[in-house]
């Protein structure tokens, strides 16, 4: 797939020859230097922006079709909850405003999902009454309501402090391990990419492209204990080194 921006005389190629297949139920992270096109790639897969060349296919559907049918769940960087609605209403909102997309679809019970994300006691509270981490969990829960075929997450934990961040990662990991969905996850954190993913797609910049795909061959189910293992540390060293190389190349 290719994607460029700007007028003809000053066109900048942002994604060049990006080709990636995500298996059903696979967790794939995108990592790479700032400006390498991670968010752009996510937007194209989400059907929010069109590729110039190549195509996106989600179970045989185009990105726009899949997006219309709510086969794609999108989790933004900030939770974007409506402050005047309770957490339950926020998470139920996609169902009430989108009755057309519900036809013949199996929808998830918002209460059940919120409970799974540890928010069972907070369903009647308003976003401002929740911590940042809880709000972000609610945003992730909202993306699961339509039981999408693929979840796209753009640095969903980047606004959280490190402790909170780790807690949210583990929450997502637990939920994902019992609801194996295909996930495409953008992150700047090497440990986050490793603990969550089956594969890490390392991108390089100018133009944005795939530099390397790294298999995360660590056993599942995973938990925090994995961070302290030699296998984790070895892989972390490998990914950091590979990332350093593409960063250096991006600055010359």
Binding site for ligand ATP (CB under 6 A): 5, 14, 34-40
Are the C-beta atoms of 29 and 172 separated by less than 8 Å? no
139 versus 204: smaller Cβ distance to ligand ATP: 204
CB of 16 to ligand ATP, least distance (A): 12
Are the C-beta atoms of 182 and 137 separated by less than 8 Å? no
185: which strand partners? 29, 153
Joined tokens for residue 218:
């660590």
CB of 205 to ligand ATP, least distance (A): 7
Label residue 174 exposed, middle or buried (CB < 10 Å: 0-12, 13-18, 19+).
middle
Joined tokens for residue 149:
């075929």
106 versus 251: smaller Cβ distance to ligand ATP: 251
67 versus 90: smaller Cβ distance to ligand ATP: 67
CB of 63 to ligand ATP, least distance (A): 16
Rounded distance, CA 138 to CA 117, Å?
A: 8
5 versus 84: smaller Cβ distance to ligand ATP: 5
- Angle subtended at Cα 53 by Cα 248 and Cα 22, rounded to the nearest 5 degrees: 70
CB of 209 to ligand ATP, least distance (A): 12
CB of 243 to ligand ATP, least distance (A): 12
14 versus 122: smaller Cβ distance to ligand ATP: 14
Exposure string over 197-215, b if 16+ CB within 10 A, otherwise e: bbbbbbbbbbbbbbbeebe
């Amino acid at each position: 797939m290719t994607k460029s921006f700007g007028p003809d005389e000053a066109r900048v190629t942002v994604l060049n020859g990006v080709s990636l297949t995500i298996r059903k139920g696979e967790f794939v992270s995108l990592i790479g230097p700032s400006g390498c096109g991670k968010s752009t790639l996510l937007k194209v897969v989400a059907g929010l922006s069109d590729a110039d060349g190549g195509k996106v296919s989600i179970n045989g559907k185009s990105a726009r079709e899949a997006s219309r049918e709510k086969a794609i769940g999108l989790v933004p960087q900030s939770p974007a909850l409506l402050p005047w609605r309770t957490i339950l209403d926020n998470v139920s909102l996609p169902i009430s405003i989108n009755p057309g997309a519900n036809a013949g679809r199996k929808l998830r019970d918002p209460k059940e999902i919120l409970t799974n994300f540890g928010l069972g006691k907070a369903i009647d509270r308003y976003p401002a009454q929740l911590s940042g981490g809880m709000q972000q969990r609610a945003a992730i829960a909202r993306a699961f309501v339509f039981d999408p075929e693929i979840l796209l997450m753009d640095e969903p934990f980047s606004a959280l402090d490190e402790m909170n961040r780790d807690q949210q990662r583990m929450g997502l990991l637990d939920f994902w391990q019992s609801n194996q969905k295909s996930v495409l996850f953008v992150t700047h954190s090497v440990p986050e990419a490793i603990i969550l993913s089956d594969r890490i797609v390392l991108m390089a910049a100018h133009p944005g492209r795939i530099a390397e795909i790294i298999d995360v061959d660590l056993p599942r189910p995973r938990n925090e204990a994995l961070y302290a293992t030699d296998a984790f540390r070895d892989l972390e060293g490998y990914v950091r080194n590979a990332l350093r190389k593409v960063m250096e190349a991006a600055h010359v």
